[in-house]
């Protein structure tokens, strides 16, 4: 058999790499990765120092600190939304790629027949199908021109070209989206670092000694074990816990409805120490504490023969929750089987209850502004099914209470009202 001549323009087969060369390459790669990590750490430390300087300048200026807290929380919420969108897009691209590859795999015989015919004519080995779809695309497009030679395969080849074109585009889109995802994660990390420092600065300004704070937390934990209902918990907190009692007294001084203050004006002063508008007048304008699908609403079945008394949303994993309105922290801590619970007294006899959070960022009696960070969701894996609120999901339950009784909160949430108007 005659020796086959090398194809012009095609490199000869490379000599197999030795073990020593492999080890050298691996060592160089590890060193490059280490340098990259060190660079990221250095950059992160520089950013942290910069934020610390900025926060130091904010000390004593409550208005600027509060505004920075709200602005940072808002940016994180926007970034979380973009991250979620990119992850969903990547998921769709990967699913589509899997379908295409399955389809192409089922038609492997057709591809082999075409490629073998081309190989015989060009004396050139066939390219890898799924690793470099752009290579096989060039080969298949050339085969279309051979319609006179392979008329029976022309239609199959055209379909293969279309699918491989789509797969090639899909792979390029995946690479672009993964790059976007990496950038968004870096942005989120920087903003969360900033928020951590800002929250730490805010909490350090609470006028209560560490010893009193520890005593209050111990008393709260003990009290939470004694009471059986959320209504009793709120009532006992406001009579037995100093911080909660002071907050309840301040909440009684909240302006009554119809005091003439416009909604926009009520939130302009970032240094305010109490709400400037009655909670009842915020009906239809409250922002949900985090972005996420609403999976259960007031009045729907709770799965146990009763009905839901609040709404349930599915925020992104680890989402930062913001206060829907001004108010005082009436309770913050573990309660019975509910896990971590946060209750905000918004004045006028209204309380907002949050259940399903990982940990809170506030203390009992603390006044928080609408938009300020108050808690963090768990980083448990989310479920994509709206009907599945399993333990793997990170679900947030929100309840609105008036004079201790749960009421329908839907009319208060601006997002739900907008969806109702569109629907």
pLDDT in tens, 195-225: 888 888 888 877 676 778 788 888 888 898 8
As a whole-number percent, the residues of the chain with pLDDT over 90 amount to: 28
> Is the residue at 9 inside a domain?
no
Mean pLDDT over residues 106-114, rounded? 71
Over 70: is that where the pLDDT of 4 sits? no
User: Is residue 199 classed as helix, strand or coil in its secondary structure?
Assistant: helix
In terms of average pLDDT, the best of 2-6, 284-288, 413-417 is: 284-288
- The whole-number average pLDDT for the span 80-109 is 82
pLDDT at 13: 39
Given a cut of 80, whether residue 312 has pLDDT beyond it is: yes
Res 260: pLDDT: 75
Quick: pLDDT tens for 235-264: 999 888 888 999 999 999 898 887 778 887
Residue 70, pLDDT > 90, answer yes
Judge if 130 and 67 occupy the same domain: yes
Residue at 357 is within a domain: yes
Is 10 part of any domain? no
Do 90 and 191 fall within a single domain?
A: yes
For the ranges 281-285, 318-322, 385-389, 405-409, which has the lowest average pLDDT? 385-389
Please indicate, yes or no, whether residues 195 and 221 belong to a single structural domain of this protein: no
Residue 136 pLDDT: 61
Is 15 a residue whose pLDDT tops 90? no
**Co-location of 166 and 228 in the same domain:** no
Domain boundary among 204, 231, 258: 204
183: confidence class by pLDDT, cuts 50, 70, 90: confident
pLDDT at 127 over 60: no
Angle at alpha carbon of residue 321, lines to 318 and 327, rounded to 5°: 160
Residues 157 and 218 in one domain: no
Please give the Cα distance from 25 to 29 (Å, whole number).
Answer: 6
Residue 5 counted as domain residue:
no
Question: What per-residue string of b and e applies to 89-101 under the rule 16 or more CB within 10 Å gives b?
Answer: bbeebeeebeebb
Residue 11 lies in a domain: no
d(CA 164, CA 130): 9
d(CA 262, CA 385): 40
Q: Taking 60 as the threshold, does the pLDDT of residue 230 lie above it?
A: yes
Q: Domain total for the chain?
A: 2
- 187: closest CA among 37, 82, 89? 82
- The answer on 105 and 177 residing in a single domain is yes
Q: Are residues 304 and 233 in the same domain?
A: yes
Distance CA 163, CA 137 (A): 10
Q: Is 416 helix (H, G, I), strand (E, B) or coil?
A: helix
| pLDDT at position 23 | 65
Q: What is the pLDDT of residue 390?
A: 36
Residue 323 confidence (pLDDT):
96
Task: Calculate mean pLDDT across residues 89-113.
Answer: 79
Pair (134, 230) in one structural domain: no
For residue 347, the enclosing domain spans 210-422
24 occurs within a structural domain: no
Give the chain's mean pLDDT. 78
**One domain for residues 173 and 154:** yes
pLDDT class of 114 with cuts at 50, 70, 90: low
Confidence label for 26 from pLDDT (cuts 50, 70 and 90) = low
How far apart CA 393 and CA 316 sit, in angstroms, is: 10
Residue 127 located in a structural domain: yes
Which of 204, 239, 265 is where one domain is finished? 204
Higher pLDDT, 122 or 86: 86
Whether 186 and 56 share a structural domain = yes
Residue 279 has pLDDT above 80, yes or no: yes
What pLDDT does 85 receive?
84
Helix locations, 59-107, DSSP H: 62-106
Same domain, 132 and 231: no
**pLDDT at position 31:** 64
Measured CA to CA, the distance from residue 327 to residue 286 in angstroms comes to 13
Residues 176 and 284 reside in one and the same domain: no
pLDDT at 12 over 50: no
Q: H/E element holding 359?
A: strand 350-360
User: What CATH number did the domain enclosing 238 receive?
Assistant: 2.70.70.10
Q: Does residue 22 lie within any of the structural domains?
A: no
Chosen domain end from 157, 183, 204: 204
- Residue owning tokens 């809170």: 360
């Amino acid at each position: 058999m005659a020796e086959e001549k090398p194809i012009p323009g095609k490199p000869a087969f490379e000599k197999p790499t030795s073990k020593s060369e492999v080890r050298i390459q691996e060592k160089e790669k590890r060193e490059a990765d280490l340098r990259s990590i060190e660079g990221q750490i250095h950059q992160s430390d520089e950013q942290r120092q910069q934020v610390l300087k900025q926060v130091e300048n904010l000390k004593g200026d409550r208005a600027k600190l509060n505004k920075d807290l709200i602005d940072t929380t808002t940016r994180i919420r926007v970034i979380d939304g973009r991250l979620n969108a990119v992850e969903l897009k990547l998921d769709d691209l990967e699913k589509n790629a899997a379908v295409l590859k399955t389809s192409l795999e089922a038609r492997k015989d057709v591809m082999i027949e075409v490629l073998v015919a081309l190989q015989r004519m060009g004396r050139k080995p066939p390219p890898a199908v799924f690793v470099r779809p752009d290579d096989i695309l060039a080969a298949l497009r050339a085969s279309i021109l051979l319609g006179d030679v392979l008329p029976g395969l022309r239609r199959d080849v055209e379909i293969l070209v279309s699918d491989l074109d789509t797969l090639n585009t899909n792979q390029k889109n995946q690479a672009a989206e993964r790059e976007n995802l990496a950038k968004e994660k870096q942005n989120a990390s920087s903003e969360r670092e900033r928020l951590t420092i800002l929250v730490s600065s805010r909490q350090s300004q609470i006028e209560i000694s560490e010893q009193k704070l520890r005593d209050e937390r111990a008393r709260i934990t003990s009290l939470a074990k004694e009471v059986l209902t959320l209504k009793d918990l709120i009532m006992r907190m406001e009579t037995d816990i100093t911080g909660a009692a002071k907050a309840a007294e301040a909440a009684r001084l909240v302006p009554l409805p119809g005091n003439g203050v416009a909604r926009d004006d009520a939130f302009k002063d970032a240094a305010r120490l109490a709400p400037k508008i009655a909670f009842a007048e915020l009906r239809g304008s409250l922002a949900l504490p985090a972005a996420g699908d609403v999976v259960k609403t007031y009045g729907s079945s709770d799965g146990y023969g009763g009905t839901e008394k609040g709404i349930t949303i599915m925020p992104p994993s680890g989402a930062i929750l913001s206060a829907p309105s001004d108010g005082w922290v009436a309770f913050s801590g573990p309660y019975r089987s509910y896990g971590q619970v946060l209750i905000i007294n918004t004045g006028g006899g209204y309380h907002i209850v949050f259940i399903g959070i990982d940990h809170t960022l506030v203390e009992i009696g603390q006044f928080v502004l609408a938009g300020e960070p108050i808690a963090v969701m768990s980083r448990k894996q989310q479920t994509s099914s709206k009907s599945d609120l399993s333990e793997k999901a990170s679900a947030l339950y929100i309840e609105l209470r008036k004079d201790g009784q749960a009421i329908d909160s839907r009319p208060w949430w601006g997002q739900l009202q907008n969806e109702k108007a569109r629907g």
